[in-house]
A = this chain, B = another copy of it.
Amino acid sequence: MSFETTATIASFGGKLLKLAHQARSTSCQMKLNLYLPPNASASKPAPVLIYLAGLTCTGDNGAEKGFFQNMASKKGIAIVYPDTSPRGLNIEGEDESYDFGSGAGFYVDATAEPWKHGYRMYTYITEELPHALFGEFKELDGKRVSITGHSMGGHGALTLFLKNPGKYKSVSAFAPITNPMKCPWGEKAFSGYFGKDDHKRWAEHDATELISHFKGDTDILIDVGTGDNFYKQGQLLPENFEKAAKAAGKKVTVRYQDGYDHSYFFISTFADDHLEHAAKHLGV
């Protein structure tokens, strides 16, 4: 068994499992939460929604405050809540900033020293974690997977979807960082993980750049609160993403939610809509 189950918690008729496993890609033990809806079984495996959390978060925030389990239970969808970075790698400075290093892996594989030794959340989320999970939990249907996320995790969801055509049935995001090359959070993270000048690689992890070249159809749902201070500060830039999508003829629906902020009060309010969006594409 590659996963240790540290707790099993009843939630909305299903089970929330607190899991831990040794991950090669990130060179450390990774924790996560896995929600199994009622009646998921090896003979009737549940489709899966991956929820990528934002800066400072772990796999716990979404499970405790996002309120995804309610509709996931009704729809019969499993939810995977991974952590947002490696932990405890003893890299100098890894715990100094809220927006870089631990809690801020940005869902990329770092290429710059010293971060390339473990800050490889792209490989962890797209390959190692699903491979391990779907191998061990036969209640999960690894062929029907969608992805969503919040803020940095919204960036993760959008870029992982756009970089891997066919891997995910759908994508949605809450207040995502959609154009990291053009915002302070993204500039800091990409400078650190890729180096200041490797803008070609930066573009490979920028949703606004990626959607311009994406082959195939999209049906992307994004919610952004108009009272979100990070939106106001230009960290999210959803207008840039909308404009690029429109130019490329891709379907993107950005809903500007009046007065909502960046918190889990915002996420929980619209969680049902994102579950229903995923459910539609997952065929449930």
What is the interface of chain A, defined by CB distance below 8 A to chain B?
Answer: 9-13, 16, 64-65, 67, 69-70, 225, 227, 257-261, 263-266, 268-269
Chain B: CB-nearest residue to A259? B10
Residues of B within 8 A of A266 (CB): 10-11
Asked if B264 and A64 sit within 8 Å, CB to CB, the answer is yes
9 closest A-B pairs by beta carbon, nearest first, are: A11-B265, A10-B259, A10-B260, A12-B269, A9-B265, A67-B67, A64-B65, A11-B269, A65-B65
A-B contact pairs, 18 of them (CB 8 A): A9-B265, A10-B225, A10-B227, A10-B259, A10-B260, A10-B261, A10-B265, A11-B265, A11-B269, A13-B269, A16-B265, A64-B64, A64-B264, A67-B268, A69-B268, A69-B269, A70-B70, A70-B268
Contact of A9 among B13, B64, B263 (CB under 8 A): B263
Residues of B within 8 A of A263 (CB): 9
Chain B: CB-nearest residue to A227? B10
Tell me the complex Cα distance, A268–B10, Å. Answer: 11
